[in-house]
Amino acid sequence: MKRAGWYVIAGAAAGFAGVVGLHGSGQAAPVALGQQRPAAARGAASPAAPAPARTAGPAARAGGSGAVRRATGAVEQYGYGELSVTVTVHGSQITDVSVPLLRTAEPYSQQLAQQVIPMLKSEVLAVHSARINGVSGATYTSAAYAQSIQSALDKLRA
């Protein structure tokens, strides 16, 4: 397969904020929303867009007490490509998750180019109202941990 190299995508988090969804109360709901939805509506990231870091908005609006703190993981390669994740907490509440840098490798970038990334109906993006104690996911390598949301949480709470 042809290697398309790296795409730089960004602005993703801002677009995702509009799709914070609701999960049906534990009920099976095999409904496909994603593939029919136009890319603009789900705020899909555009390949080769510039890479702005998103910071202020949600944190400034959030309630709760305590200082606003941010931590960003280092940039390294892993399964998704290259990226770093920034998590912002206000007191003990996560107010923002953003990706200042994300370069994706195939086949993810191809999916992006073809705009066929499914959108989950329950998608939680910036996690504005959620407090979480950790993240469950497919096993990351030691190197990939550095870019994980869990890693950012660990830094903030250390």
Partner 1 sequence: MTTRPAPVTTHAEPVMGTVFSFTAVPGSVPPATVRAALATACRILHRCDTVFSTWDPASPVSRFRRGEAPPGAMPPEFAEVVRECQAAKAISGGWFDPWAMPGGFDPTGLVKGWAAERALAELRAAGLAGGLVNGGGDVAVFGSPPDGDRWRLGIQHPWRADALACVVEVDAAVATSGPYERGAHLIDPATGLPACRAASATVTGPSLALADALATALAVGGDEALAVLAGVAGYAGYLIRPDGTETDTGGIAFVH
Nearest CA-CA partner of 13 in 83, 116, 65: 83
- Does position 7 interact with partner 1 (CB under 8 A)? The reply is no
Distance from C-alpha of 73 to C-alpha of 64, rounded to nearest angstrom: 24
* The token pair that represents 111 in the structure block: 């999916």
DSSP structural state of residue 16: H
Among 8, 59, 62, 149, binds partner 1 (CB under 8 A): 149
Among 7, 8, 12, 58, binds partner 1 (CB under 8 A): 12
Nearest CA-CA partner of 44 in 3, 68, 11, 22: 11
Residue 6 to residues 82, 111, 140, 147, 150, Cα–Cα distance (Å)? 9, 13, 21, 18, 25
Among 51, 106, 113, 121, binds partner 1 (CB under 8 A): 121
Taking the complex as a whole, the smallest distance from the CB of residue 61 to partner 1 amounts, in Å, to: 18
Helix (H, G, I), strand (E, B) or coil at 99: strand
Distance from C-alpha of 141 to C-alpha of 109, rounded to nearest angstrom: 21
Nearer to partner 1, 59 or 99 (CB): 99
- Does position 120 interact with partner 1 (CB under 8 A)? The reply is yes
- Does position 114 interact with partner 1 (CB under 8 A)? The reply is no
- Does position 123 interact with partner 1 (CB under 8 A)? The reply is yes
Distance from C-alpha of 95 to C-alpha of 56, rounded to nearest angstrom: 10
- Does position 30 interact with partner 1 (CB under 8 A)? The reply is yes
- Does position 8 interact with partner 1 (CB under 8 A)? The reply is no
Contact positions toward partner 1, by CB under 8 A?
12-13, 16, 20-35, 78-80, 83, 85, 92, 97-99, 102, 108, 111, 117-125, 127, 129-142, 144-145, 147, 149-151, 153-154, 157-158
